[in-house]
Chains A and B, each alone.
Chain A
Amino acid sequence: MSATTAGDVRPHRAPRGGLHAQRRWALWGSYAALTVFVIVFLVPPFYTIMTSLKTSAEISAQKGTPWIVHHPWLGNFWYLITYHNFQLYYLNSAIVTVLVVVISMVISVLAAFSLARMGFWGSKTLATGVFLTYLVPASLLFIPLFQIVGWIGLINSVWCLVLIYPTLAVPFCTWIMIGYFSSVPRELDEAALIDGAGYLQMLWRIFIPVAMPGIIAATIFAFTVSWGNFIYPLAYLYTSNQMVLTVGIISDLIRGDVFEWGRIMAANVLASLPPILIYAFLMDYYIAGLTAGATKG
C-alpha cells in the first residue's frame, strides 16, 4: 500500500447507491414499517385504557377528544374487583389455563422428544400428521366436539375446556418442540447414553434445559390458546358460575342493548394483565443460543 500524506486526506463520502445509502434506505423503511406496526397494535390498547378510566358520562359526552381522559376515575376497576361474578370468571380462567398449560406441555414435550429423537418406525409421518391436525380450523371442530363433550356430560362445565383446549394446543406445541429437540446436537444424547442416562433422564436433565427457549415459546402459545379462546366457551358454557373471562365479560357487562363501555374496557385491561406479566417474565428467559458451547460452533 502506498503511504498517504495528510494533504491527501479528503472527507469520506459514501458513494452514491453504495452500502451506506442502501443502509439508510433500509433504516427508513424499517422505521416506517415499525411506525405503522406500533399504531396498528398499540392504539387499541391505548384507547381501551383511556376508556377504562372514564365515567359513563365522560364516555358518552359528545364534546372534546375521546383519546384523553379529563377526569381519571378508577370506579370501573373497583366495581369489577369487588364484583363476585368477575372474580369467578377470573378464577375459572386461571384454573383452566394453568391446567391446560401443564397438560399440553407434558404431552407435547414427551411426544416431541419421542418423535424427534427416538427414531421409531413411522415417526416422521406421525410428526407431519401432528402438524396437519393443527391446520384444521377451530371453528370447524367446535360442532363435532360439542357432540363429544355432550356425550361425556361436560356441557356447561368449565372442565370441558380443560379437556378441549389441549387438543388445540398440543399439535402446535409438539411441532415447536420437535423443531427445538431436533436442533440439539445428536452427540449430546449419545454422550448422555454413554454417561449412563436412560431416555427419561436424558429428556429431563439434558433436553428440557437445553430446549428451554422452545418450551417457553410453546408454553406461551398454550397459555394464549387457553386464556384468549372465545368460541368454545361461548358455545359450551351458559351459566355465570362456569364462565371464563372471555365470555363472562360480554355476557355480564352487555345487558340487552346497553354496553357498559367503561367496565368492559376495565375488564379487558384486567384480563390482559396475566398475559402481559407472563410474557414479560418469560421473555427474559426466552433467549436463543442456549446450546452455545455444546459442540464446535
Chain B
Amino acid sequence: MAEVSCRKLVKNYDGGVQAVKGIDLEIADQEFVVLVGPSGCGKTTTLRMIAGLEEISDGEIWIGGDVVNDVPPRDRDIAMVFQNYALYPHMSVFDNMAFGLKLRKFPREEIKRRVDEAARILDIHPLLERKPKALSGGQRQRVAMGRAIVRNPKVFLFDEPLSNLDAKLRVQMRTEIKKVHQTVRTTTVYVTHDQVEAMTLADRVVVMNQGIIEQIGTPQELYHSPATRFVAGFIGSPAMNFLNCRVEDNGAGPSVRVNNQIVLPIPPSRAHRYSAYKGKEMVLGIRPEHMFDYRDAERPGYARIDAPVDVVEPMGMETLVHFFIDGTPVCARCDPATPAAPGEVLPLTADMNNMHLMEASTGQVV
C-alpha cells in the first residue's frame, strides 16, 4: 500500500492539445479518491499516466515515495480495472486472475491461495473454470476486479469500471467495490463521469474540468461548499439552478435581485460575507432540493417565489417542477402531492440559507 502523488503533472498530445495542465494531487495511503468530470476533462489521461500507459509530458508522479515517471507499468506495482473489462478471452477465469502472478513466478500454491481468496471476496468461486464469454457483464467486471485484487498491489486504478453495466447492476457493483475497498484497504484511484458514483464511493472527490482540478474535497464539502460554479453545477442531481442577480441593500437588509419581481433576502449569517459584492453582477446558485412547496413563510432565510410551471415530472418519492425565470430554466423538488400543473403558477419557497453566490465573470463561489 502506498500514497500517490501527482506534482505539476502535464500531458501534451500531438497537435498542441494539452489534456492535463499541471495538476497537483496528493492521495494518502488507503484512501479512495475519485476523479470525476465531463468527457475530455483529463481524468482518464491522469489515471493512465499514473498507470504508466501514457507518457508524462511534464511533472512527476510518485507512488510509495518513489518517482515513477520512467518506471514501466509492470514495475509500478499497480493493478487496473478497465471500462471494457479487458479479460483474456482464451483463458479461464482462474487463469485470467492468475496471469499476473504466473508472470511474476509465484509458487503454484500461493497463486491458488490468492485466487481462491479473491474469488471468495468477490463471490465468483463457481465461475473459476469458465471462459469470459460465458459470463455476464457484472461477472466479467468482478473477474477484472479479482485480477487486480490477487496481485495485492500498492494502488488500484479503476477506469470507469461500471459504465458498461445497466443501471441496476451499476448500483450493486458500486456497493461491491466499496465493500472490497473496506476489506483490502488498498489506495484506490477511480475515474468516472458519474457524480453519483463519485459521491458514494469516494473518501475524497477530485473534480476536473478542461485539464485542471476545479476542487478536491470530501463529497459533503463538494456538495455544501463548492468552490466554483462548475463544481456547483456538476455535483448534485438535478443540477444546481443558476440565476443572474445583483446584490443590493434596500434598507431592510441585504438581498439579491434576480429581476424586478424577484428579490430574495440574504440570510444574516451571509450578510457580512456578501457585503463586498454590493452592486455587482453575480450569479445566484440554489439547488432544486432547496426550492420546494411554499411553507413556513416566517422562517428566517425562506423566501417566496411564484413559479409559472412549465413541466411537472413525478418521480414517486418527489415531484420535479420545471419553470423559467427570465428565460433561465429552474428546477424545484416538490412534495409528490404538490398541486403543480403546467401553465399554472405555483408558490414555492427558496431556502436562502443554502444559497451560493458566485462571481459572474470568474465563476468563483464567494
Contacts and interface: CB of A to CB of B under 8 A. Distances in A.
Contact of A196 (B74, B87, B90, B131): B74
Contacts of B52: 193-194
A193 B86 CA distance: 12
A193 B52 CA distance: 9
Nearest to A188: B86
A190 interface: yes
B72 A193 contact: yes
Given A190-B80, A195-B103, A196-B100, A290 B73 contact: no
Contacts of A201: 103
Interface in A277-297: 290-296
A194 B78 contact: yes
B81 to A, nearest CB: 9
Interface in B47-82: 51-53, 72-74, 78-80, 82
A190 B53 contact: yes
Among B86, B103, B135, chain A packs the most CB atoms within 10 A around the CB of B86
A194 B88 CA distance: 13
Interface in A187-206: 187-188, 190-198, 201, 205-206
A188 B89 CA distance: 9
B293 to A, nearest CB: 40
A205 B95 CA distance: 11
Contacts of A292: 89, 132-133
B86 A191 contact: yes
B135 A293 contact: yes
A210 interface: yes
A210 B100 contact: no
B18 interface: no
Interface string B205-237: 000000000000000000000000000000000
B74 A197 contact: yes
Contact of A194 (B51, B89, B140): B51
A296 B84 contact: yes
A194 B74 contact: yes
Contact of B85 (A194, A197, A209, A295): A295
Contact of B79 (A187, A194, A206, A290): A194
Contacts of B297: none
Interface string B133-150: 111010010000001000
B164 interface: yes
A193 B84 contact: no
Contacts of B108: none
Contact of B103 (A196, A210, A296): A196
A275 interface: no
Contacts of B147: 191, 195
Interface in A253-297: 290-296
Nearest to A291: B89
B51 A294 contact: no
A290 to B, nearest CB: 6
A152 B132 CA distance: 52
A293 B137 contact: no
B294 interface: no
A191 B72 CA distance: 13
A185 interface: yes
A294 B131 CA distance: 9
Among A188, A193, A195, A296, chain B packs the most CB atoms within 10 A around the CB of A195
B273 interface: no
Contacts of B299: none
Interface string A196-227: 11100100011001100000000000000000
A294 B82 contact: no
Interface in B24-56: 51-53
A195 B133 contact: no
B122 to A, nearest CB: 17
Nearest to B148: A194
A64 B140 CA distance: 67
A191 B151 CA distance: 13
A194 B73 contact: yes
A276 B73 CA distance: 46
Nearest to B78: A194
Contacts of A197: 74, 103
B99 interface: yes
A270 to B, nearest CB: 37
Contact of B132 (A206, A209, A294): A294
Among B88, B151, B164, chain A packs the most CB atoms within 10 A around the CB of B88
Given A190-B80, A294-B85, A210 B74 contact: no
A201 to B, nearest CB: 7
A195 B82 CA distance: 13
Contact of B100 (A185, A190, A195, A291): A195
B104 interface: yes
A216 to B, nearest CB: 14
Nearest to B90: A209
A290 B90 contact: yes
Interface string B90-104: 100000000110011
Contacts of A187: 82-86
Contact of B87 (A190, A290, A294): A294
Contacts of A190: 51, 53, 73, 80, 82, 86
Interface in A145-203: 185, 187-188, 190-198, 201
10 contacts: A187-B86, A193-B72, A193-B74, A194-B52, A194-B53, A194-B74, A194-B80, A196-B100, A293-B89, A293-B140
Interface of B: 51-53, 72-74, 78-80, 82-90, 99-100, 103-104, 131-135, 137, 140, 147, 151, 164
Given A197-B74, A293-B133, 13 more contacts: A185-B86, A187-B82, A190-B73, A190-B86, A191-B80, A193-B73, A194-B51, A194-B52, A196-B100, A292-B133, A293-B134, A293-B140, A295-B87
Please name the 9 residue pairs, one residue from A and one from B, whose CB atoms are nearest each other, closest first: A293-B133, A293-B132, A187-B86, A295-B84, A195-B100, A294-B89, A292-B133, A196-B74, A191-B86
